[in-house]
Amino acid sequence: MEHPMNTYRDLDFLIPDNMTTPLDIKKSFIYTDDIAGGAALINHLNSQVKEEFRAKGLVHPYNAAMSTTYRKLVLRLFKEGVIRILVCTDAAGMGCNIPDVDIVVQWKAPSNLSSWVQCAGRAAQAAGREGLAVMIVEKSAFEISTTAASSGEFGTNTASVSQRCNTRGGHGRGHSGRGRGQGRPAKNGPTYGVSHGAKHGQYSGAHDTMTRLEECEEIPGDVVGEGLYWYIQTTVCHRLILTKIFRNKPSYVSPTRCCDLCNPKLFDRTRPSEPIVTARQCSVKKGEPVALV
């Protein structure tokens, strides 16, 4: 996540700058646990839509707080392509089996890897179709190491790197606790965060290519959030981490289609908006007081 969380500008890639028709917006799910924050997210994305198309309601909420009648209507319009983006809660969106979803976005770190795998699996369910799964997370996961996460010494927030990969990922379901826990361990320095992907996929692209670091061959079975920190901070391959954690049978996926670590060019499809540089206000110089005459 490059921009302040409450600006939602890391999601701007979902609305093309050069859109000429609503169909230029790829059919997308955005998963978020925050229903209240979802309203602000929707308002921001609608503000990015060209003014001539804003009244069409191309971005809509879809969560358990909505009536059954509303959800049925919105889901039908989404299937028909009238609505282009659905902002879902985890519980409501998991039942949406739509074969032609192009992009799935997880906004902020999920509770565990199983939730992420289920979300990512909602993209491109039709045979022969490719989709993109994107995790955009907070800037706090790199305050602790995977060693601390394995021992249960984890902080109250998770994640600080955006993860992009072509679906589909690994399958499986773990039984570990949530990614967010209790306690606040000592923080790692900024060098640790950058080397583990804290600036991966930013607007400039300066940190897209990462140096592979030595990593543990085996991931503990009782790791926090089913290994959420390991997945976020890996410098090798996201699919490989999923395979290790869920004990899946290894399967070959072309590096160009695998994940952002195997093919950093995938970030060109998910760049956040250009950072806004705020000019510093010059302080007024104070001189000697002048006596009135």
CATH number of the domain bearing residue 139: 3.40.50.300
Which of 51-55, 107-111, 186-190, 274-278 holds the top average pLDDT?
Answer: 51-55
Query: Is residue 279 domain-resident?
Result: no
d(CA 141, CA 262): 21
Q: Is the pLDDT of residue 46 over 90?
A: yes
Per the structure, the complete domain to which residue 73 belongs is given by 5-269
Query: Is residue 275 domain-resident?
Result: no
SS3 28: strand
Q: What is the pLDDT of residues 191-240, one digit of tens each?
A: 877 888 788 889 999 988 888 887 666 777 777 788 888 898 899 999 99
Query: Is residue 291 domain-resident?
Result: no
Q: Is the pLDDT of residue 118 over 70?
A: yes
Q: Residue 117: what pLDDT?
A: 92
Q: Residue 172: what pLDDT?
A: 41
Query: Is residue 218 domain-resident?
Result: yes
Average pLDDT for the chain = 82
**Cα atoms in the 13 Å half-sphere on the side-chain side of 191:** 0
- How many helices (H) and strands (E) in the chain? 9, 6
Give pTM, 2 decimals: 0.81
Q: What is the domain count for the chain?
A: 1
What does the block give as tokens for 198?
Answer: 């804290």
